[in-house]
C-alpha cells in the first residue's frame, strides 16, 4: 500500500508526520479505484483519479476541488456547516443544475433488467449474465446524470452487496467528473424484509439482515427495538452506498382494509408516534447527530394516507380519496408532529417528508381545494411549512406529475385533482405550494418549463430564489451525511458489514418478539420436539398482487418442510400425527375495483373483504363519501350489495378439513398476517393460533416448540365480522367491535398471550 503526504505526486515516509509540525496535516492512501485522504482531526476525503478532481491545501489541510477552478470555495470547505455550504453551492448552480437536483429517479435495479419498468441497456445492449459487468452504469443512468443533472437515485434490487458497492463507486466517480462535483444521494425503499423459508443460523451471515414488517415491529410495542433496527439498517445502507431511506411509513392505519397496512406501525397514534421517533433517530443519529454513518429518513405519507375510502389505495385512480367521516384528520398528524418531527437526538427532525397521493377530501379549510396532497397549498404551505415550521425536503410520491389514463394500473400517473393540467403546470403548482422534489421523474424539462412560468408570473429573481431555497434543502441533506467528502466504499468491507451475524441475530430476535399468540387452549403449546406432526399442503388459486402482477396457482407445503423435520417427526397422514400444523395467510380479496364490471355497465367498485368466505356488502354505504374522476361519468363509488371472493378462501377450507381429519387431536395454526381480518371462520377449529408479520418459518417453529416464549401484542383490533368493518370510520383508530374467541378472550388492541396467559405488562398499561 502506498502512503502519500500532501499532494499525490510527493511520496514521503509516514514516519515523518510526527516531526514536521508545520507540514501538511493529512495523508493519502491509494485504493483500488479511488484515493483516501485523512485529515488530522478532520474529514476523510475520497476521490477518483479519473474524475479530474485535484486536492487543494489550506491551513495545511486537504480539500477536494470539486468544481476544478483551483480555489477553495465555501461549499468545498468541510470545516463549515452544512447550511453554509449548501447556501454557497446553491448560489453557484445554474437553473438547469437546480432542476436536476429536484429530480428523484425512477426505480433502478442493479444490474438493470432486460425489459419492463426496471429495464436498462449497456452500450445499447441488454444485460447479459456472465458478459456484462453488473456494477457498470446503464446508458439511461449516464443520461439522467449528465444531461438532466439528476443526483437522487432510487435503488431497488441489487445482485449482491459487493456489486452494489462497486456500482456506487462507479456512479460517484461519474458524478464527481461533472460540473460542480455533486455526489449521488442514493436511496432505497425498505429492504429488510424476510425470506420466509431461509434457515437462520446464529453463526452465519446473509445478504442483509431480516426483520419483521413495520406492523410486526409495532407488535413488539418496543420503540427501543425499532431504534436498534434503525441503527443496524443504517450501517447496512451506508455499506451499500445508500444515504437516504424512503421510510418509515408512519401513517396511522385507521382503515383495516388498506393494502399498505403492513408497512405502518399500526392504528394507534401514540404507538405509531413513538415508533416513528425511534426509527428516525436510529437511522439519522448513529453518532448522536449527523455524520458519515447517518442515513436521511424520508417519512411518509403526510398528512397520513391510512383513511382511503373503503380501504382502496391511492396508487390507483379508484382509490384517490382519503375520507374523514369521524372528523379525525388532526389525529393522523400525531406520528409526524409528536414523532418524526420531535426527535430525541441532535438531528432534531426527519430530514425529508413525502406527501401521499390521496386527496384529503374536504380537509382544505382555506381554499376548499380537493387535490392531491402534494398540490394542496393548505396542507403543504400553510400546515406543514407554516403551522409546524417544517424546513426539510418535501418530495412528492412517485409519478404524481404524469398523466392519468386508466383506473386500475399501478404504473398510471397520479395527478389527482389536477388531471386537466399539463405536466409542466403540475410541476409549477407543486413548486408554488412548497414542494422541493419530484419522485419518479428523470427528466428536468418540465421543471425548466415551470421556471419559465415563474418568470412570467413573478419575475426571474423571485422564481430563482424559490428554486434556490429548494436546492439548499436538498444539498443540506447531502452535506450532512458526508458524501461530498467521501462517497466511496470498499466492496470487501461491504461484504463483511451487510448481513453480518450480529445483525442477522438481532433481526431474528426481533421477529421472535413480533409474533402474537392469540389462542392456546388448554396450554397445547409449547409442543415437545420430535412430536409427530402433520403439515397439510396449501392450495392457492391464481390471483394478482398489489402491483397487478399475476401470481400463479400453487399447491405445495406452505413452509420449509425440511426445516420442520429438524424440529418434529413429520408424517403425511393425519391419522398417524399427534398434532397438525397448518400454515396459512390472512385473507386477500383484491383492490376494490374490477374493470370487467365497468364493461358490463357497472361502476367498477367492489368491497375489499377481510374474511375468507364469499362476502356480500349489505352494510356498505348507499352513497360513497367521495368520488369523481375524468375517466368516470359518475361520483357514487358505492359497492353496496355487491359480492367479492377472497383469492385464498381455500385457507379456511384447509383449516376445516384438517380439523375434521384430526378429530380430537390438536390443530395449531400459524398465520402470516398483513391486515386485521375476520378470524371467526377458523378460530373455533383451532387449538392454538399464532400471528406472524413477515417472519421466517423458523420463528414460528421456535415459538411452537417453546425455544422462545411469545411476547407480541396486537398492534390493531381484530374485527368481530365484516359488519363492524363496514360501520367503522376510515379515519378513526380502534373503533371496531373486536372478536371474542371461544376461550373468552377479546382480540383487541394490545392483546396477546404468553405461556402463563393474557399478557398484562408495562407495555399494555402504557399503550392500551
DSSP string, 417-480: T-TTS-HHHHHHHHHHHT--BEETB---HHHHHHHHHHHHHH-HHHHHHHHHHHHHHHHHHHHH
User: Is residue 467 pLDDT above 70, yes or no?
Assistant: yes
> Residues 631-667: pLDDT tens digits?
999 999 999 999 999 999 999 999 999 999 999 999 9
Q: What pLDDT is stored for residue 114 in this prediction? A: 87
- Average pLDDT value for residue range 196-215: 94
User: Is residue 176 pLDDT above 80, yes or no?
Assistant: yes
Query: pLDDT tier at 548 (50, 70, 90 boundaries)?
Result: low
How far is residue 64's CA from residue 485's CA, in Å, rounded to a whole number?
7
3-state secondary structure of 264: coil
pTM of the model: 0.95
> Residues 594-629: pLDDT tens digits?
999 999 999 999 999 999 999 999 999 999 999 999
Q: What pLDDT is stored for residue 259 in this prediction? A: 97
Cβ neighbors of 483 (< 8 A, separation 6 or more) are 172, 183, 185, 243
Cβ neighbors of 183 (< 8 A, separation 6 or more) are 151, 172, 175, 176, 478, 483, 484, 487
Q: What pLDDT is stored for residue 745 in this prediction? A: 98
Query: pLDDT tier at 1 (50, 70, 90 boundaries)?
Result: very low
Q: Which residues make beta-bridge pairs with 44?
A: 38
- Average pLDDT value for residue range 356-375: 98
How far is residue 614's CA from residue 156's CA, in Å, rounded to a whole number?
36
> Residues 50-104: pLDDT tens digits?
999 999 999 999 999 999 999 999 999 999 999 999 999 999 999 999 999 999 9
- Average pLDDT value for residue range 160-182: 98
Q: Decide: residue 625, CB within 10 A, 0-12 exposed, 13-18 middle, 19+ buried.
A: middle
User: Is residue 47 pLDDT above 90, yes or no?
Assistant: yes
User: Is residue 328 pLDDT above 50, yes or no?
Assistant: yes
Cβ neighbors of 292 (< 8 A, separation 6 or more) are 44, 238, 481, 482, 485, 486
Here the cell at position 472 is: 439548499
Q: Are 675 and 257 in contact (CB under 8 A)?
A: yes
- Average pLDDT value for residue range 543-568: 85
3-state secondary structure of 94: coil
Here the cell at position 345 is: 437526538
Q: What pLDDT is stored for residue 543 in this prediction? A: 75
Q: In what order do the strands lie in the sheet with 569-571?
A: 569-571, 532-534, 579-585, 667-672, 688-692, 516-520, 753-754, 757-758
User: Is residue 336 pLDDT above 70, yes or no?
Assistant: yes
> Residues 2-36: pLDDT tens digits?
333 333 333 333 333 333 457 899 999 999 999 99
Mean pLDDT in the chain? 95
Cβ neighbors of 121 (< 8 A, separation 6 or more) are 112, 138, 139, 140
> Residues 721-755: pLDDT tens digits?
999 999 999 999 999 999 999 999 999 999 999 99
Residues 399, 404, 410, 414: is their CA dihedral positive or negative?
A: positive
Q: Which residues make beta-bridge pairs with 63?
A: 56
Map grid coordinates 483551483 to a residue. Answer: 70
Q: Are 242 and 154 in contact (CB under 8 A)?
A: no
Query: pLDDT tier at 553 (50, 70, 90 boundaries)?
Result: confident
Q: What pLDDT is stored for residue 547 in this prediction? A: 63
Cα dist. 759→176, 444, 532, 751 in Å?
56, 55, 30, 7
Residue 414 φ/ψ, nearest 5 degrees: -135, 55
How far is residue 44's CA from residue 482's CA, in Å, rounded to a whole number?
9
Domains and CATH numbers, the chain: 3-78 (no CATH), 516-587+649-708 (3.40.50.1700)
Q: What pLDDT is stored for residue 554 in this prediction? A: 80
Q: What pLDDT is stored for residue 550 in this prediction? A: 77
Amino acid at each position: 500500500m502506498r502512503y502519500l503526504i500532501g499532494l499525490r505526486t510527493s511520496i514521503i515516509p509516514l514516519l515523518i508526520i510526527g516531526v514536521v509540525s508545520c507540514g501538511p496535516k493529512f495523508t493519502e492512501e491509494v485504493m483500488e479505484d479511488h484515493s483516501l485522504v485523512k485529515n488530522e482531526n478532520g474529514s476523510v476525503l475520497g476521490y477518483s483519479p479519473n474524475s479530474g478532481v485535484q486536492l487543494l491545501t489550506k491551513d495545511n489541510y486537504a480539500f477536494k476541488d470539486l468544481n476544478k477552478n483551483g480555489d477553495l470555495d465555501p461549499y468545498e470547505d468541510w470545516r463549515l456547516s452544512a447550511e453554509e455550504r449548501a447556501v454557497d453551492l446553491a448560489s453557484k448552480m445554474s437553473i438547469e443544475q437546480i432542476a436536476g437536483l429536484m429530480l428523484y429517479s425512477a426505480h433502478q435495479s442493479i444490474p438493470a433488467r432486460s425489459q419492463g419498468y426496471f429495464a436498462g441497456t449497456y452500450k445499447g445492449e441488454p444485460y447479459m449474465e456472465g458478459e456484462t459487468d453488473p456494477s457498470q452504469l446503464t446508458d439511461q443512468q449516464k443520461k439522467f446524470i449528465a444531461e438532466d443533472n439528476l443526483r437522487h437515485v432510487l435503488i431497488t434490487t441489487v445482485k449482491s452487496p459487493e456489486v452494489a458497492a462497486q456500482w456506487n463507486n462507479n456512479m460517484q466517480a461519474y458524478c464527481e467528473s461533472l460540473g460542480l462535483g455533486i455526489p449521488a444521494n442514493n436511496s432505497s425503499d425498505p429492504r429488510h424484509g424476510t425470506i420466509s423459508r431461509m434457515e437462520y443460523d446464529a453463526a452465519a451471515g446473509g445478504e442483509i439482515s431480516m426483520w419483521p414488517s413495520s406492523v410486526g415491529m409495532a407488535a413488539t410495542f418496543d420503540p427501543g427495538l425499532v431504534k436498534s433496527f434503525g441503527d443496524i439498517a443504517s450501517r447496512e445502507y451506508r455499506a451499500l452506498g445508500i444515504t437516504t431511506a424512503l421510510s418509515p411509513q408512519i401513517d396511522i392505519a385507521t382503515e383495516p382494509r388498506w393494502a399498505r397496512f403492513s408497512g405502518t406501525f399500526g392504528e394507534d397514534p401514540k404507538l405509531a408516534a413513538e415508533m416513528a421517533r425511534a426509527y428516525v433517530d436510529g437511522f439519522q443519529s448513529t453518532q448522536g447527530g449527523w455524520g458519515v454513518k447517518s442515513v436521511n429518513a424520508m417519512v411518509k405519507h403526510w398528512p397520513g394516507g391510512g383513511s382511503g375510502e373503503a380501504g382502496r389505495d391511492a396508487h390507483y385512480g379508484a382509490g384517490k380519496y382519503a375520507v374523514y367521516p369521524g372528523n379525525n384528520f388532526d389525529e393522523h398528524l400525531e406520528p409526524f408532529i409528536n414523532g418524526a418531527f420531535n426527535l430525541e437526538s441532535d438531528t432534531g427532525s426527519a430530514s425529508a417528508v413525502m406527501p401521499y397521493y390521496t386527496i384529503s377530501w374536504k380537509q382544505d379549510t382555506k381554499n376548499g381545494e380537493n387535490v392531491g396532497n402534494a398540490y394542496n397549498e393548505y396542507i403543504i404551505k400553510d400546515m406543514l411549512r407554516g403551522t409546524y415550521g417544517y424546513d426539510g425536503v418535501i418530495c412528492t410520491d412517485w409519478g404524481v406529475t404524469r398523466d392519468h389514463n386508466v383506473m386500475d394500473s399501478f404504473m398510471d400517473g397520479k395527478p389527482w385533482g389536477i388531471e386537466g393540467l399539463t405536466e409542466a403546470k403540475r410541476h409549477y403548482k407543486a413548486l408554488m405550494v412548497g414542494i422541493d422534489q419530484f419522485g419518479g421523474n428523470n427528466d428536468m424539462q418540465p421543471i425548466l418549463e415551470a421556471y419559465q412560468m415563474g418568470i412570467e408570473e413573478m419575475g426571474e429573481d423571485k422564481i430563482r430564489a424559490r428554486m434556490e431555497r429548494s436546492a439548499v434543502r436538498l444539498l443540506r441533506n447531502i452535506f450532512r451525511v458526508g458524501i461530498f467528502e467521501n462517497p466511496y466504499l470498499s466492496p470487501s468491507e461491504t461484504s463483511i458489514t451487510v448481513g453480518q451475524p450480529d445483525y442477522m441475530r438481532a433481526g431474528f430476535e426481533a421477529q421472535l418478539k413480533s409474533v402474537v399468540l392469540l389462542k392456546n387452549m388448554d396450554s397445547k403449546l409449547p409442543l415437545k420436539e420430535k412430536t409427530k406432526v402433520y403439515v397439510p399442503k396449501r392450495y392457492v388459486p391464481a390471483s394478482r398482487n398489489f402491483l397487478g402482477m399475476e401470481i400463479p396457482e400453487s399447491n405445495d407445503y406452505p413452509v420449509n418442510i425440511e426445516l420442520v423435520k429438524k424440529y418434529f417427526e413429520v408424517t403425511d397422514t393425519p391419522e398417524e400425527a399427534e398434532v397438525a400444523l397448518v400454515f396459512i395467510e390472512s385473507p386477500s380479496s383484491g383492490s376494490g375495483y374490477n374493470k370487467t364490471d365497468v364493461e358490463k355497465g357497472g361502476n367498477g367498485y367492489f368491497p375489499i373483504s377481510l374474511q375468507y368466505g364469499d362476502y356480500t356488502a349489505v352494510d356498505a354505504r348507499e352513497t360513497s363519501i367521495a368520488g369523481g374522476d375524468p375517466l368516470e361519468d359518475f361520483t357514487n363509488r358505492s359497492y353496496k350489495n355487491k359480492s367479492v371472493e377472497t383469492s385464498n378462501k381455500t385457507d379456511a377450507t384447509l383449516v376445516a378439513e384438517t380439523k375434521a381429519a384430526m378429530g380430537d387431536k390438536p390443530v395449531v395454526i400459524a398465520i402470516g398476517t398483513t391486515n386485521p381480518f375476520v378470524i371467526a371462520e377458523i378460530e373455533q377449529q383451532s387449538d392454538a393460533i399464532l400471528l406472524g408479520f413477515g417472519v421466517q418459518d423458523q420463528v414460528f417453529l421456535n415459538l411452537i416448540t417453546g425455544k422462545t416464549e411469545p411476547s407480541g401484542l396486537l398492534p390493531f383490533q381484530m374485527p368481530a365480522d365484516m359488519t363492524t368493518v363496514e360501520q367503522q370510520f376510515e379515519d378513526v383508530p380502534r373503533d371496531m367491535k373486536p372478536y371474542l374467541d371461544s376461550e373468552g378472550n377479546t382480540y383487541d388492541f394490545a392483546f396477546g398471550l404468553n405461556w402463563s396467559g393474557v399478557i398484562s405488562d408495562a407495555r399494555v398499561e402504557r399503550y392500551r
